[in-house]
Chain A
Amino acid sequence: MNSHFFARRVHSLTGIIPVGLFLVYHLYTQLYLHQGAEKYNEHTNAFYESPLAIWLLIIFVYIPLFYHSILGAKLSIEATPQPSYHYFSHLLYWLQRISGIGVLLFIFAHLYNTKVMPLMTDTYGQHFEHLAEGFASAETGWLTKSVYLLGILGATFHFANGINTFCMTWGLALTPRAQLRVRVLSIIVFVLLTAVALYSLSAIW
């Protein structure tokens, strides 16, 4: 086993286990948006009360995500476009790469919007108000909303399709029929996660 093989297997694992599960958890917690500002802020801030919270985030989210992004971006750049082959899986292959890079950009914007800016203006903790104000802004509201919409679609697509390629990489689904079943599963995951996320956002749209 050489280092590239190892790196790719770790890349595949990090996409599902820490980062993917975090995405599911993160989208779930956004459902609190429907319970109003107080509940939402209370719940979000409660997570950080644990002295372990920040370390858990660094070890299980930031480091794996950083690793996955760096290798993912490298893989995306190295691919050779084959524009004359119009097959569905080939389209998914490119969407996987484009959504990955899109999600990376979104994460930066999202961190700035929900962490850096509130910390700079000393208003950290009022998560609900920040989000709602950003969405309601007369000048930039449309932009914020579009960025969130694209970011969420990108993340749910990337994760759902990633389940598909994860099963290929590790050889979990062998026959074309098994691969079709996994594809159906990934479509269900995509629809469900996207629906949950859009429903959450509708609270402040």
Chain B
Amino acid sequence: MAPHTEQLTRPAVRLRGLTRSFDGRTVLDGIDLDLPAGQFTALLGHSGSGKSTLLRAVAGLDHKVTGSGRLDAPERVSVVFQDSRLLPWRRVLDNVLLGLDGKDAERRGREALAEVGLEGRERAWPNELSGGEAQRAALARSLVREPELLLADEPFGALDALTRIRMHGLLRELWKRHRPSVLLVTHDVDEAIVLADRVLVLDKGRIGLDLTIDRPHPRSYRDPLLGEYRERLLAALGVTEDHA
């Protein structure tokens, strides 16, 4: 394993001139971006600005998309989708273990489920879980592989506000324990501010704003010092407060 100092200096993700287009329409227009190892980054942008396109490129899921540029990403990447994407014909534990090998896989799977508070639900079928529980199971599935990079595309978008707040705490907690680099796509400015240490705004195919949020955790939505960040992000997104 690489020594700790090297991990800090070498970025986990490095994009150089990343370009992606659909039918001649450029969605990502030469993006340069470094994500340091272990950093929690949020990616904001208008609907259709290309957030998912960028995330799918980093995940290596865009085989059929035309594009160019250099992309370095770690070997172990996990993705959390907006839907939990549990296979309905496998029990929860078997879903968590999907693609996992090794003698102690099952033990690790149980531990991961316990970590997200789903102890005792190992034998449940996915369609017996609530939306929040299913998303927690999906989180367990991506963490059990101990990813170096965790990509999440609006993972809480389908959840109610209360569940979402609890999931924020959980995600942050899990991140602290496992320290993967995180790239969280969201369209919720507050979610980005509360969770991430760095917030990017994708605009016209480029990173329009790169903001480091230097506030201690856990953060509260009502922290007045976060209001300043919120205003800058909303301005970058072209939203003024009285319209919001």
Same complex for A and B? Answer no
> Which residues does B use to contact A, with CB under 8 Å?
none
> Which residues does A use to contact B, with CB under 8 Å?
none
